[in-house]
Each structure stands twice: as structure tokens, then as C-alpha cells.
Structure 1
């Protein structure tokens, strides 16, 4: 069987499995009921992101068998992804205290870094910096923040799915343009698994992703970014640019809430994208605008970094500045009323 058949198979498998999970959630009353912190108005089943987890983890070892992906990277993504998804699944079905979730997330990050070898050397102003042991600490916080911010940003229909698809497809194109086609398989597989889920999650959503799916996406893409950076340091900047909408909104909101004295671990609906969705009166327009930002703004900058030699840090600054302005304009971190 050609490896390329995996990708349409992943879409179909994910879509069918999500439909089954929707029926399971309805039978077990795993429903998100709207409240003062919600961005939706209709009770909706949750936990559909498990389909993404199962399809991806089932298929990704095939890339190791055919030699397209090194086994340490596979063990890294399998252990980290499964651990984060399990914590999210348990939290979806009940509640895990924030401190224990955070401890679990750091343990998953340590597992990933053990197999990856820590933080790769960073390309910085024409040179390369190796942070050594300090880089391990930095990369652990990077992975934990990325998986949590992805959870925070999964608050309106289709947004987390569209972000993952745009980011993964974008980086696959860049890998191809720069002669690293061997890196394409895993992120493309993830994009296809998410596409199958999006069939059910497209606005208006018939099922939500849940913590199992959103945390898994953030963790796996974080691992992908570090693995790719070991192949070429420039790819870390590329991933940071492509994930810019989520990184900026979540980070701006976090610091805004900290400055206002709010408890940052409490649920809220003060992200810029949530304010924008309420102003627009629907989720589809905001999700569409985020897709447009990814395709028309962030993707070209990422190409400039990887293909045309734009300094990575400068590229991130250029990419993020308008996003910071948008976050400020839409009141990221401010509570309604």
C-alpha cells in the first residue's frame, strides 16, 4: 500500500470515529451546557478530539516502519501525545486539579525531550546558539505552554481545527520548498486527522474537541517543531510564526489577566477571539478570519524566513506585531462588563 493512501484514510477514519464519539457522548451525557464563561449557546457533546488522537497515534508508527521518521521522534510523540490526551480525557469526564494537570504536562514534556535530546541549537542573528541544559528547561516550558494555550484557544467552533490544518499544511509546503520532504508525512497526517474531525466541528459545531484533543494538538505540534529544528534551526522560527494567532492571543490574554489580578487558571471567555465572536454574533466569521490571517499573512512570512533568508527573530516580530494590535483592539484579557 502506498503511504499516500494513509492521508485520505485518516480523513475518513477520523470523520467516522468522531460520529461514533458523538453518539457515545450523547449516551453518557457528556455535554457542554452553556454558562457565563461559554462562547456557545446550545448544549453540545464534547470529547470528539479523541478521534484525532486515535487516528494519528495508530498511523504515525508507519512512518517509522518505512523509514520516513526516526523512531526516537515516534516514541517522543507517542508517549507525550498519549499522556496529554489521557489527562485531557480524564478531565473531560470529571475534573483534575490544575496543579496535578500541570505536573502531568511537565512529565509528558520531559518524556518528549528525553527522546528528542532537548532543545536544538537556535539560529539567532546569523549565528547558532546552543543553550545546552538551560535549553532543556526552556523547551519543557515551551511544550507545556503550547499545549495549554491550544486548550485555551479551543473556545469557538472550528477554530482549533482550522489553526492546526493551516499550520501543518503550511509547514509541509515549506518543508517541500526547502528540500526537507522527508519531514512532511507526520504533520500532514495530523492535518488529515483534524480534517475528518472538522466535518463535525465546522460551525455550527455538532461536537466539541474537548481537552483530550486540544491539548494533544498543542503537544504534538510542539514536538514536531523541536524535531524539525534539529534538522534545521530555521524551522523553529517557522513553526512559531505559523502558530502566531494562538501564541499571541493566549499570551497577551494571560499577561493581561495577571496584571488585573485574576486567577489565570480559572475558566473565562476573555480571549480576543471570544470577544470578536461575540461582536460578530457568530463563530464562522472569526474562524474564517483566522484562516485568512494564517494563509495571507503568517504563511508568506514563514516562507520568507525559510526560503529567502529573512532573520527568524525579525520574522517573528513582524508577524506578531499586527496580532498584538488586534489582541489589544479586541480587549484580550478584559472581562465583559
Structure 2
């Protein structure tokens, strides 16, 4: 396959947990019940790209990566990994992908080295165990039993196991969740190294800062749908930053400079009874500069000034009606 070619394609992808109707969706005419975890999403990932699915708990991220890993069939739509259906054609895909789930399933009675050796015995063309452990910074902990490893170390061991088969595609479900600062940096550096070597990585994250440290492109999920997709800067731009403060005594919002000229796209008085106001802006520096100049020129204080950068975590929109059902690289998917 040529560099830059799509290695993952999802179109109109649905996944329903529990009972599904004849149509494969919940709430149909047959009155069946179930939970729609993934609702008609579509995306593509090119070779050598790091792509992140970002969202709160319950957004559908894990359900999506399980479909990519071939651990379950989709209720509707289609997904291909390396040109194959990862569930129906799992034998063609399994040896070419590595998977890190939130639960590693490794027996606590084994040492780190024994667990890696056991897994290597089930992996075609496995890299040397010592090499896999070293990739995750665990070479010195080879003889330590899993029950005595820290949470950080056990998570990195699961990652080293996922790398045993020298995967072309690596699927990581929240690889930095719960890790301390050092371990988080180590995982970030490892993902960047793998990308430089040509590995395609799909990962999930709960916070934008985690995703943008790892991925060059990401999709925000909410309610089982993709609501925003693009580079980290494009995603940030889709969510206005927030400025909150109390107007000086005797002054009102109407006394501020024209808010549109400051880049403000929305404002309100906070409903907590504090009398503070909130400004929403996609141009934080421009808005804040104008606001502070106004306050300085009038010798007033903006009490309780609080500034927050754009945060998808605080502003996941409700699923909309216009979400794309899916695309193929360079074309729309029908």
C-alpha cells in the first residue's frame, strides 16, 4: 500500500448494545429495546496517521474502537481495516493490528516477562520480548509480578504486549488515562516514535489536551455521533472560549465596547445570582485585550475575572440531525 493510503474506513457505522430490532436500530416499529452506542458515524484514517476519538464517558469511543479491532460486528454500516472487515475477516487482520483495551486481562500471578512471553507465543512474527518491554520502559521490571507493578507500569506492560506483533495499525483505548506525568510523557513519546516509523494509530481520549498531545487529527464524539472533526486547532476553534467577571458597580454590559467588534459570539448573565456575566469568543486574545483596555481606561476592576480556553469537554453538543454518515478517502460514501 502506498504512503497516505486509507487503512481505516468507516461509513454509516452503528452499534447497538442489547436487543436490536429487525432494522438493526433501537426504537423501531417492532418496539425492540437496546442502547445505541454508535449512531451512523463515518471517518477515514490514512497510513502513518495518529487519529483520536475524543469524548466524555458514554460518548461511544470504546464501542467504536472495539468495532475497529474486530471484537464485535457493527449493527449497521461498514468498517474496513487494511482493506478487510475486521470482524468477518478477522484472520486476515488480526496479525497486522495491535490493540490496547482499558482492561488488559493479564494474569496477576505472572511476571511482566512471563506475561509478554505468553502473549508472544500467540503472536505471529513477534518481536523479541525484551525489545517490546524496552519500548514501554519496562526492561528493568521484567521479573516483577504483575500484582506488584504500579498502575502506570501495568498499563505500559499492556501497551508493550500490543506492540509484540509489530502492528501496522495500533488501536489504543485511552492509553494515558490514569497515568502519572512521567508515564504519560513516555506513552506520548512512544506514540510519536511509532508514527515516525509508519504505524497508523487510532486512540481514544477524554480531554482535548490528551488528544492533541498525541494526534494530528481528531473527532469529537457525543451521544454516539461525531459532532466535530479536524485538527486540534480546528476543533478548538469550534468551541468558543469563556470569559466571566462581575461588572463594576454602576456599570452595565451595554457600557462595554461593541461586543461583536471584540469577537464575542454570545453573552449572558450567569444564572447563579452572582450578577456576573459570561462572554463567549473564538478569539480569546482579541476579546480579552479589548476588555482589559476598556477597564484600564476607565480605572475599573473586573472582579472575579475568570478565563477558560475552548473546551469541548464542557460543551459537548447534543447529537444533531446533520451528522455525516461516512466518507471514503477523497470521496463521499454512499
Q: Give the alignment's TM-score, normalised by structure 2.
A: 0.27
* Larger Cα-atom Rg: 2
Greater share of strand: 2
Q: Give the alignment's TM-score, normalised by structure 1.
A: 0.27
